[in-house]
């Protein structure tokens, strides 16, 4: 009985969980193609010939500021992700490969960044950015998001590096390969699954964040798409067509990045190791 119905039960649970997770996204996308009355009248119904409307997308895509907000989010997210992956992988390589006095304490110190939310230091971060004259700049967000993502990246990548056979590194050293070349040519190709995991965990919180853009970059030219959507939300009247359309557009990059890196999670763990 367990052999017959066990896998079926697991698949039923996974399908149910997937539906629960995808339902909010589907509701946002479906209602973004409806007229305002249909959104409130039948929010769970699919758009029909009577309720179908592109007024939200016409307002969002016709707004020049939305393109600027989108560019700000893309640039901040990609640069922050690249910084986290580069510096996190290098720091993880140093902690996993080279043992020195205080390496354990340093690893514990970095792991504190996982346990303590960075938002607790918002006032200190704000004072620092003001003193550095970085308020209303994308650089301020990039620095904060890099610091936010490094602890998790170092923790995941260092554990992954420690599982790589040491014979690969020793063989490269015997061939006279410099340490930096060992990292980029031998270790880095083997880190693709772990790098994909770190990238996904890094991109989603940065793209969805509203707190630090509101605190550090509230200017019109530096707002991210998450903060820019708030212009369609008023105190008394909210343009829900524009809000849902903007959210639908904002979802696409996250889904694309997730699909790109999820393939790497499955792809060759030891690709290039025996070459």
pLDDT digits (tens, 9 = 90+) for 64-87: 688 888 899 999 999 999 999 999
Domains in the chain, CATH or no CATH each: 1-53 (no CATH), 63-266 (1.10.3720.10)
**pTM (two decimals):** 0.81
Residue 244 pLDDT exceeds 80: yes
Give the number of other Cβ atoms within 10 Å of residue 200's Cβ: 18
Q: What is the pLDDT of the chain when averaged over all its residues?
A: 83
- The per-residue b/e assignment along 247-275, b for 16 or more CB within 10 angstroms, e otherwise, is bbbbbebbeebeeebeebeeeeeeeeeee
Output the pLDDT for position 126. Answer: 92
The Cα–Cα gap between 160 and 194 comes to: 7
The Cα–Cα gap between 248 and 238 comes to: 17
Banded pLDDT at 140 (limits 50, 70, 90): very high
Residue 115 pLDDT exceeds 80: yes
Banded pLDDT at 275 (limits 50, 70, 90): very low
| Crossing angle (nearest 10°) for helices 192-208 and 240-266 | 170
Residue 269 pLDDT exceeds 50: no
Most confident of 58-62, 84-88, 89-93: 84-88
The SS3 assignment for 233 reads: strand
Banded pLDDT at 59 (limits 50, 70, 90): confident
Mean pLDDT of 109-125: 85
Which residues are registered as beta bridge partners of 233? 238
Enter the tokens of residue 74: 């893309």
């Amino acid at each position: 009985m367990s052999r017959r119905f066990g896998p079926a039960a697991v698949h039923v649970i996974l399908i149910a969980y997937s539906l629960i997770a995808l339902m909010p996204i589907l509701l946002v996308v479906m209602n973004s193609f409806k007229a305002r009355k249909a959104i409130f009248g039948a929010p769970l119904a699919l758009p029909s010939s009577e309720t179908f409307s592109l007024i939200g997308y016409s307002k969002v895509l016709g707004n020049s500021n939305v393109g600027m907000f989108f560019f700000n989010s893309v640039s901040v997210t990609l640069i922050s992700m690249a910084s986290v992956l580069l510096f996190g992988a290098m720091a993880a390589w140093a902690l996993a490969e080279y043992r020195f006095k205080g390496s354990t304490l340093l690893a514990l110190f970095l792991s504190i960044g996982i346990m303590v939310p960075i938002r607790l230091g918002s006032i200190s971060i704000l004072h620092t950015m003001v003193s550095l004259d970085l308020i209303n700049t994308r650089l301020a967000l990039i620095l904060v998001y890099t610091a936010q993502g490094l602890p998790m990246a170092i923790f995941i990548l260092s554990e992954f590096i420690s599982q790589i056979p040491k014979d690969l590194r020793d063989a490269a050293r015997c061939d006279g390969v410099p340490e930096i070349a060992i990292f980029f040519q031998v270790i880095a190709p083997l880190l693709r699954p772990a790098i994909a995991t770190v990238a996904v965990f890094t991109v989603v919180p940065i793209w969805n964040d509203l707190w630090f853009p509101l605190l550090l970059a509230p200017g019109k030219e530096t707002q991210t798409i998450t903060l820019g959507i708030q212009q369609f939300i008023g105190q008394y009247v909210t343009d829900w067509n524009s809000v849902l359309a903007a959210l639908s557009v904002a979802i696409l990059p996250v889904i694309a990045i997730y699909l790109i890196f999820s393939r790497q999670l499955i792809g060759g763990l030891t690709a290039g190791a025996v070459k």
